Amino acid sequence: MNPIITTLLLFIPFVLPLGLALDLYLPSIPSMLNAFDASSQSIQLTMSVFLYTYGLGQLLMGPASDRWGRRNILLVSIILFSGGSIICFSADTLSIFMGGRILQALGACGTQVVSLAMVRDRYEGKPATIIFTALKGAMSIAPIIAPILGAFLQMHYGWRANFLVLTLYGLGMLGLGLYGLKETKPLGVRTKISWKFINAHFLYFCFCAIATQAAMFGYFSLSPRYFMTQFGLSEAQFALLFSANACIFLVTGILAGKVIFYLGFRKSTCIAAGMMLLSGLAMAYGHFNYTHYYVLFIPNLLASSSAAMMLGASTSGALMPYKENAGSASALLGCLEFMGGGLIGSLAIMGKTISALPLAICLVMLGTTIVMMNFRIT
């Protein structure tokens, strides 16, 4: 089998825990409110704590893999994820459940950041770009399948079944890590923790990733209210529209790697930014001229394709020059992408009015900023 395909099949399971841990139990939230006798704000807090732990935890896991080896930290991360899932499964109080979610998040961030670093250890140039882009695209698999699987589990087995599945998934990753992965950073080439790789080029690619995550977060947050509350679509119709965007993201991620390598990372981010800008303009035009859910849906198909291309190019551009510190570079990129993207993306859903206009403005401003930055950095 082609070594690139083999590598993708090997590493895809390690980049999915975030999406699975976030989306699998969403259909079970009403049931969990009763089980824990908790408010919706308390359950929402478990999601927020998970997200912040995931973002900041990368700054621990990435540098640790530079210092103590990739495989070691990856296996520790898998154990944390599996242990956290077991705690969530068996929790009888919300505080115990919260502790399990923190461990889950630490494990999920470790599996992703170390996986990207291991790819950088093994590959250069075109193969690395193809794999980075495809892995980022493959992350959309979880949002496609997790809510459907979670709803099935909730209907037939209850909310604890979601965390039993996550436990089994973690154990599967552990077996794959033990028997399928070899150390890519041997003892003799390990480095001390250092942040000297930070420069204008690295920060540019970080901002590209932040902008992409902001666009995606804005759409994820807005779309349920926009499609179901504003236009009365059913859960099934919403799931179909949501999956269509995720599929566009996935397909672009699979196909765009070679294009990104031939165009160059900077030029690719600029093209993707132009696509983001156009999607925002189309969304704004639709907002002022039509009353239909396509105003959000159709322009965001272009934004989803832009996001996959931008993430592939920015990840490759940020990690490619820093092989010795790939863990730290991957960690800082992921932390800034996740935390900054979430903060900026929340602006797209501000206000009581359900409207596509704030997201449209966000897309236009982010796309324009990236294009301007691209021309200013020498």
The domain 197-378: what is its CATH number? Answer: 1.20.1250.20
Mention every residue, 6+ apart, whose C-beta is less than 8 A from residue 181: 10, 71, 74, 118
> pLDDT class for 165, splitting at 50, 70, 90?
very high
Average pLDDT, the chain: 89
- The confidence score (pLDDT) of residue 190 equals 62
pLDDT(251) > 70: yes
- The confidence score (pLDDT) of residue 223 equals 83
Per-residue pLDDT reduced to its tens digit, 201-219 = 999 999 999 999 899 888 8
What tokens appear for 58 in the block?
């990368």
What tokens appear for 31 in the block?
């049931």
User: Taking the domains of the chain in order of start, what are their residue ranges?
Assistant: 1-182, 197-378
What tokens appear for 188 in the block?
């003799």
DSSP 288-343: HH--STHHHHHHHHHHHHHHHHHHHHHHHHHHTT-STTHHHHHHHHHHHHHHHHHH
Identify which has the larger pLDDT, 146 or 179. Answer: 179
- The confidence score (pLDDT) of residue 37 equals 85
> pLDDT class for 226, splitting at 50, 70, 90?
confident
- The confidence score (pLDDT) of residue 188 equals 61
Identify which has the larger pLDDT, 229 or 75. Answer: 75
- Provide the 3-class DSSP secondary structure of residue 264: coil
Residue 192, sorted as left (phi over 0), alpha (psi -120 to 50) or beta, turns out to be beta
> pLDDT class for 263, splitting at 50, 70, 90?
very high
pLDDT(235) > 80: no
Residue 360 half-sphere exposure toward CB, CA atoms < 13 A: 19
- The confidence score (pLDDT) of residue 224 equals 78
pLDDT(32) > 80: yes
Least confident window among 56-65, 85-94, 241-250: 241-250
- The confidence score (pLDDT) of residue 210 equals 94
- The confidence score (pLDDT) of residue 152 equals 86
pLDDT(143) > 80: no
Q: Taking residues 366-371, report their average pLDDT.
A: 96
Q: How far apart are CA 338 and CA 353, in angstroms?
A: 26
CA 375 to chain CA centroid, Å, is 27
- The confidence score (pLDDT) of residue 67 equals 86
Tell me if domain 1-182 and domain 197-378 are identical in fold.
Answer: yes
Taking the model in full, what pTM does it have? 0.86
Per-residue pLDDT reduced to its tens digit, 74-120 = 999 999 999 999 999 999 999 999 999 999 999 999 999 999 999 99
Q: What angle do CA 359, 332, 65 make, to 5 degrees?
A: 140
Name the percent of the chain lying above pLDDT 90.
Answer: 57
Q: How far apart are CA 370 and CA 18, in angstroms?
A: 27
pLDDT(189) > 70: no
Q: Which of 81, 52, 62 has its CA nearest to residue 121?
A: 62
Q: Taking residues 336-348, report their average pLDDT.
A: 83
Highest mean pLDDT among 208-217, 219-228, 317-326: 208-217
- Assigned CATH topology for domain 1-182: Growth Hormone; Chain: A; (1.20.1250)
pLDDT(351) > 70: no
- The confidence score (pLDDT) of residue 378 equals 64
Q: Taking residues 267-291, report their average pLDDT.
A: 96
- The confidence score (pLDDT) of residue 155 equals 85
